[in-house]
Structure 1
Amino acid sequence: MKLHFSILIILISGFLWSSCSEAEKKQFAQNPVIFADVPDISIIRVDDTYYMSSTTMHMSPGVPIMKSKDLVNWKIVNYAYDTLANNEALRLENGQNAYGLGSWASSLRYHEDTFYVSTFSATSGKTHIYKTTDIEKGPWEAISFEPVLHDNSLFFDDDGKVYMIYGGGDIRIAELKKDLSGIKPDGINRVIIPDAGKVASDNLMLHAEGSQVIKHDGKYYVFNITWPRGGMRTEIVHRADQITGPYEGKVVLEDRGIAQGSIIDTPESDWYAYMFRDYGSVGRIPYIIPAKWEDGWPVLGKDGKVPDTLDIPVKNIGVSGIVTSDDFNVDKLALAWQWNHNPDNRYWSLTERKGYLRLTNGRIDDNVEQTRNTLTQRTFGPVSSASTAIEVENMKDGDVAGIVALQKRYGYVGVKMEDGSKSVIMVSAETEEPVELESIPLESNKLWLKIDCDFRNRRDKARFYYSLNGVDWKPIGETLQMAYTLPQHFMGYRFGLFSFATDTTGGFVDFDHFKISDKITDAMKD
């Protein structure tokens, strides 16, 4: 009996272990699919591969192109351009800047074996189109024209005509020339949906914008975002039998302000919507939403709500495809890096000292916000940390270098050279004016620096640390209360490596590495 009982226990245990193992294997995707600033997303599918473009405004290179096989896990594979334009604002010259500007919401398309990205910019004063036959490797051909077509959606119709649907409040259509070099002089150019947001409310805080257009079962669908006063960011859609209308509209999503985007089908003929949510200082974070068609209308979510768990059986990789640690051991920057505005390539190098990023001060600047050649990556949630090691023996008097949590209300920890002596400093611009909150004498020529960010439940706190050995971290200054500011900078906080001169040019620093982590120091966990 004991033997039989033992065998029974073993069989039951084995069955339970097998069942648990199978259950553990069935992991499902979670929203948000990326807990970082990836707004204004536009997605296409080519066979079984999805591509997504997004807004990074004043950053260079710009309009990141991301790739996915499952709509959940994304990896940066390219950018549509290296620099948008070359002017004082994008060069951070004479007090000018492009914060909150640069290029805005893009439209990604695939037509006759060619990929297209359209965007627009108040900074350049133009509408821009970039095209390539190889979206992952390029090269891209740049086309631009006036005027600026706000929040445009590029659309190739079945009859060979090409349009842009665009505008705010009144949604307009403009037919383009065949070579896309501008608006066709004798083509269609008029309002197609007057006061589009009124389908949600007669009293709007934000009129309809963010157009994205698809054609499905012979009908045209125009997706827009709007914001009823006293309500939330809301997604609306209008449909018509002809691209010029007449259109009828309805509200398709009101949940936590998740809005602005469109829908996409899978190879299995399932449908999903893609939109973003404002989430405090980390920025605007993307969600994937189950969708279906009923009576010729797209129906988004489950009972009108965006689920936190998706019916997609994959595990999220989170931000690992769009941010990266870097040892600077190769002579090309990783795709996760973007410069704050246009870089001056004379004054940065990965080859002057192998294994290091060298930033040289080529001009005089007042503060880190006006500093050219600040190299950035996204912060991310729920918590994130970035650290670096910096060698400072070649700094000159008046030089400042370090790591910054970059937004209008920035904070940084770094090294300042003054009267031949170095100090570790923490500077806060929480009040939008930089204030040095702490200064500690530094004897060493090498220093480790770190910033921790806590975005849980929109706590939006950043804490700053330094170390003399890379192991023992000491807090410095005060906790920064981060804030997502409008109209500047209109994006989530960025980790940035910087160096600037206030007295004399020619000084430089070497960054040994950049490390990111989804863990933060215990002191931040209370």
Structure 2
Amino acid sequence: MPVKYTIIPKVLFIQLLIVLNCSNQLSAQSDKAINPIIFADVPDASMIRVGNAYYMSSTTMHMSPGVPIMKSTDLVNWKMIGYAYDTLASIDELNLTNGKSTYGRGSWASSIRYHKGIFYVTTFAQTTGRTHIYSTKNIEKGPWKSWSFKPSLHDHSLFFDDDGKVYMLYSNRKLILVELKDDLTGIKEGGINQVVIEDVTAPSQSVGNSGLGEGSQLFKVKGKYYLFNITWPRGGMRTVVIHRADKLTGPWEGKLALQDLGVAQGGLIDMPDGRWYSYLFRDYGAVGRIPYLVPVEWKDGWPVLGVEGKVPATLDLPAGKGLIPGIVASDEFTQKKGEPALPLAWQWNHNPDNNLWSVTERKGYLRLKTGRIDTSFLLARNSLTQRTIGPVCTGATSLDISNMKEGDFAGLGLLQKNFGQLGVQVNGNRKELVMINGSSGKPVEEVRIPLTQSTVYLKAECNFTNKKDIAHFFYSLDGKTWTAIGTQLKMAYTIPQFIGYRFALFNYATKITGGTADFDFFHITDTISSINK
């Protein structure tokens, strides 16, 4: 039987070759990691390698538990493994009591180190006025020991030197080196305590007067000390400055190390095969401050960052597998015996009242109970949050309102100063769906419609593509057919909160206490519907 051939026209053949070539290029790129390595709010990263594993601590400020700890085996795919603390302190600002909060403060930039078989994570807090230290022999299982001392050492870098002495280098612009007691319980009397760099921003002032000069991270490589800092030349962008010295006390010499895309603040990490990278982050609008990796080459005793001075779009590292469930996670609220009550992706907005939430009172549900009167989403206690992710994401939940009381307001929010909310409010004999839009900086009720059933499905979609920073809310009566509700939320990263937008499950009373709201699940995906694209 003769073989039949199909004759392809020359133009179509050329087009086919182009398609195949593009497909091959995309396939090749898909095998590589891309920047940012985490498209979510993971700022102020500090990183170490122990054997073949990498560990990273980060900032979540007012959230509880705090100082998230993440693990990776390839520098690209990270998963949550724990937190340094459950509660930083029990004071009004951290508890959201007596009208006080600690938005934009809480615990700031941490430092993670490994020394003689012990992991150390240190941080500081304007809220407490103290420097906090946590240690453990098992970073994945704990337990953690904790202690603190005054004062609060701003943006410090913990450093164990080869001679057994331990130091913190800290402050803004004028950097100070202090020697700690051997047990790290405070600053050592009679130890080194001196200014080592008068103006750490000086190397970047050739491109305009530079501010900041903070975010210190200190390393020792082949007998030399290296110090990373962030500066911000006037009219320019966030910039990396590196200093080096033969002695901790100096003299230090500095260089402008990287000025591209505003990617800055971080440090050095080496791989078992001898490669080096710098981990840094970039301010990226409403999603928050997102981590990047930049390759490093050593030339004349200096780490040289980037590819021809630029932050590469792709990296010679394994491709990322996505942030779900490593950094964020869906939750059916059905944890097995021996598992934590909540997946590690969750954090409370400030310290929770643990008497007013449960995942066991009603099996398969998160129950949020009211215990006091609140009138503001930002001051309501026991809002359960997790990060939004980019470039797009959707968070959805199912809410049972059967046991809510007069004035209660429960639902799904997008938490930041300019927040958005979609929830159910009880008003007399009526239960109504309410959408609140805080795009202007003040919450505005955009719509209120009656609800005649006890279960409702709520959804929020976020689009951070190219800093578009918009969100829409939806509701469903059956979990299948969704209806847009209210107005578009224009999200904005604000300094008062200093954190990327977060999904939040909330329930608070405005008239009487004792009501409950039951959430059946929370689902997060990295897709959105066409209305938001």
Cα deviation, residue 476, structure 1:
1.0
What does the per-residue CA deviation read over 1:105-137, in whole Å, with 9 as the maximum and x for residues that have no partner? 000000000000010000111001100000011
Equivalent residue number for residue 517 of structure 2: 509
The one-letter amino acid paired with 2:363 is K
Is 2:288 the counterpart of 1:288? no
How high is the sequence identity, in percent, across the aligned residues?
A: 57
1:57 to 40, 55, 61: 61
Cα deviation, residue 251, structure 1:
0.6
Is 2:409 the counterpart of 1:400? yes
CA pair 293-426 structure 1, distance change in 2 beyond 3 A: same
1:518 to 520, 526, 531: 526
1:215 to 208, 211, 220: 220
Cα deviation, residue 421, structure 1:
1.0
Distance 1:504 1:314 in 2: 52
What does the per-residue CA deviation read over 1:213-256, in whole Å, with 9 as the maximum and x for residues that have no partner? 00011110110001000110000011000011010000100001
What does the per-residue CA deviation read over 1:49-90, in whole Å, with 9 as the maximum and x for residues that have no partner? 000000000000000000000000100001000011110001
Cα deviation, residue 21, structure 1:
12
Equivalent residue number for residue 381 of structure 2: 372
Equivalent residue number for residue 319 of structure 2: 314
Tell me, yes or no, if the aligned pair for 1:29 and 1:316 is still in contact at 8 Å: no
Equivalent residue number for residue 9 of structure 1: none
Tell me, yes or no, if the aligned pair for 2:56 and 2:112 is still in contact at 8 Å: yes
Cα deviation, residue 522, structure 1:
1.5
> Secondary structure of the residue that 1:201 maps to in structure 2?
helix
1:136 to 134, 137, 140: 140
Is 2:476 the counterpart of 1:467? yes
Is 2:343 the counterpart of 1:328? no
Equivalent residue number for residue 439 of structure 1: 448
Cα deviation, residue 316, structure 1:
3.8
Equivalent residue number for residue 370 of structure 2: 361
Tell me, yes or no, if the aligned pair for 2:29 and 2:314 is still in contact at 8 Å: no
CA pair 2-25 structure 1, distance change in 2 beyond 3 A: farther
> Secondary structure of the residue that 1:346 maps to in structure 2?
helix
CA pair 26-354 structure 1, distance change in 2 beyond 3 A: closer
Cα deviation, residue 317, structure 1:
2.5
Equivalent residue number for residue 420 of structure 2: 411
Is 2:501 the counterpart of 1:497? no
Tell me, yes or no, if the aligned pair for 2:76 and 2:318 is still in contact at 8 Å: no
> Secondary structure of the residue that 1:312 maps to in structure 2?
strand
Is 2:233 the counterpart of 1:225? no
What does the per-residue CA deviation read over 1:182-240, in whole Å, with 9 as the maximum and x for residues that have no partner? 00011000110111101101754522000000001111011000100011000001100
1:167 to 171, 177, 198: 171
The one-letter amino acid paired with 1:57 is M
The one-letter amino acid paired with 1:370 is L
Cα deviation, residue 26, structure 1:
7.0
Is 2:187 the counterpart of 1:178? no
Equivalent residue number for residue 11 of structure 2: none
Equivalent residue number for residue 253 of structure 2: 248
Distance 2:278 2:490 in 1: 33
Distance 1:434 1:232 in 2: 32
Cα deviation, residue 431, structure 1:
2.1
Equivalent residue number for residue 91 of structure 2: 87
Query: Which moves more between the two structures, 369-378 or 197-206?
Result: 197-206
Tell me, yes or no, if the aligned pair for 2:201 and 2:210 is still in contact at 8 Å: no
Q: 1:68-107 alignment to 2 at 5 Å?
A: 68-107=72-111
Tell me, yes or no, if the aligned pair for 1:374 and 1:496 is still in contact at 8 Å: yes
Cα deviation, residue 353, structure 1:
0.2
2:348 to 339, 352, 372: 339
Is 2:200 the counterpart of 1:200? no
CA pair 293-519 structure 1, distance change in 2 beyond 3 A: same
Cα deviation, residue 24, structure 1:
5.5
Tell me, yes or no, if the aligned pair for 2:332 and 2:522 is still in contact at 8 Å: yes
Equivalent residue number for residue 152 of structure 1: 156
Tell me, yes or no, if the aligned pair for 1:60 and 1:340 is still in contact at 8 Å: yes
What does the per-residue CA deviation read over 1:337-375, in whole Å, with 9 as the maximum and x for residues that have no partner? 000000000000000000000000011111111011000
Tell me, yes or no, if the aligned pair for 1:58 and 1:98 is still in contact at 8 Å: yes
The one-letter amino acid paired with 1:502 is T
Query: Which moves more between the two structures, 281-290 or 25-34?
Result: 25-34
Tell me, yes or no, if the aligned pair for 1:397 and 1:419 is still in contact at 8 Å: yes
Equivalent residue number for residue 120 of structure 2: 116
Tell me, yes or no, if the aligned pair for 1:389 and 1:511 is still in contact at 8 Å: yes
Listed as ranges, the gaps of 5+ residues in structure 2 are 7-19
Tell me, yes or no, if the aligned pair for 1:204 and 1:226 is still in contact at 8 Å: no
Q: Which runs of 4+ in 1 moved over 3 A?
A: 19-26, 202-205, 313-316
Tell me, yes or no, if the aligned pair for 1:30 and 1:316 is still in contact at 8 Å: no
Normalized against structure 2, the TM-score is what?
A: 0.94
The one-letter amino acid paired with 2:350 is H
Listed as ranges, the gaps of 5+ residues in structure 1 are 7-15
- The number of residue pairs the alignment matches comes to 515
Distance 2:322 2:505 in 1: 25
CA pair 2-405 structure 1, distance change in 2 beyond 3 A: same
The CA RMSD measured in Å over matched residues stands at: 2.0
Query: Which moves more between the two structures, 432-441 or 158-167?
Result: 432-441
> Secondary structure of the residue that 2:378 maps to in structure 1?
helix
Distance 1:319 1:468 in 2: 27
Is 2:357 the counterpart of 1:348? yes
Tell me, yes or no, if the aligned pair for 1:132 and 1:140 is still in contact at 8 Å: yes
Query: Which moves more between the two structures, 255-264 or 423-432?
Result: 423-432
Equivalent residue number for residue 13 of structure 2: none
